[in-house]
């Protein structure tokens, strides 16, 4: 059965945001005198929203007295910095154009804060993405299925013809909690082995392979 709708994760799936996330994390850590983090450390910290990113980056996490200030300063810096090095992964724009032409509707659901998700999707993808949903106070973060269900509602999608696509363990869990099949992408912030262990239904190694799966399923 061919899918008519696809819901994408954003960071590590459509956009390589890692360097800008690292820079804003280290901006906030440095401001309060804490050790900076490497790009590989930040790679493992992301996936559960920016509050969890800062919690993981700070000594003593959210118990640290500077936690709230550090999170606030991270968000302020990232809002300025988030376009410096961020870019779509190879082949992503062409893939989105071709699935749109084929009548497959696409949405983005992310644990990044909602304003940034909407800005990034508008800047890089425009009308290629029909719905973009990020973290907000009244919606539980992934792996809870709430934002996926909201995206499906806005797309007018049904479960049987909708697939979820992401790069991490959080994404595989999100797909399972939503009752959707999961396409794992190996080019993101986690590796193929983890996606296999988590039970992704498909794993692709390029945007071209993803496109072929969607059009020929």
Domains, the chain, in order of start with CATH, read 5-16+86-216 (3.40.50.1000), 18-81 (1.10.150)
Reported as a single tens digit per residue, the pLDDT across 14-38 is 999 999 999 999 999 999 999 999 9
Per-residue pLDDT band at 2 (split at 50, 70, 90): confident
Residue 139 is predicted with a pLDDT of 83
Reported as a single tens digit per residue, the pLDDT across 32-82 is 999 999 999 999 999 888 999 999 999 999 999 999 999 999 999 999 999
The pTM assigned to this predicted structure is 0.93
Q: Is the pLDDT of residue 137 over 90?
A: no
Residue 196: CA count within 13 A, CB half-sphere: 6
Helix (H) or strand (E) holding 158: none
Instruction: Give the DSSP letter of residue 9.
Output: -
Closest among 190, 94, 115 to 182, alpha carbons compared: 190
Q: What is the C-alpha to C-alpha distance for residues 80 and 74, in angstroms, rounded to an integer?
A: 10
User: Strand 131-135 and strand 162-166: pairing?
Assistant: unpaired
- Which residues face 131 on adjacent strands? 107
């Amino acid at each position: 059965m061919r899918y008519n709708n696809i819901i994408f994760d954003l960071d590590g799936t459509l956009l390589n945001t890692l360097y800008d996330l690292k820079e804003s994390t280290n901006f906030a850590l440095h401001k309060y005198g804490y050790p900076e983090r490497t790009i590989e450390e930040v790679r493992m910290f992301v996936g559960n929203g920016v509050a969890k990113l800062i919690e993981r980056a700070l000594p003593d996490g959210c118990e640290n007295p500077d936690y709230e200030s550090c999170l606030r300063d991270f968000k302020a810096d990232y809002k300025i910095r988030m376009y410096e090095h961020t870019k779509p992964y190879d082949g992503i724009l062409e893939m989105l154009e071709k699935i749109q032409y084929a009548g497959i509707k696409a949405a983005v659901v992310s644990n990044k804060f909602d304003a940034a998700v909407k800005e990034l999707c508008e800047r890089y993808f425009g009308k290629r993405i029909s719905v973009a949903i990020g973290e907000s106070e009244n919606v539980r973060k992934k792996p809870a299925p709430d934002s996926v269900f909201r995206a499906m509602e806005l797309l007018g999608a049904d479960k049987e013809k909708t697939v979820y696509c992401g790069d991490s363990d959080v994404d595989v869990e999100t797909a399972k909690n939503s009752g959707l099949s999961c396409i794992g992408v190996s080019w993101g912030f986690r590796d193929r082995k983890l996606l296999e262990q988590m039970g992704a239904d498909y794993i692709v190694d390029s945007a071209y392979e993803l496109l072929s799966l969607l059009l020929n399923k």
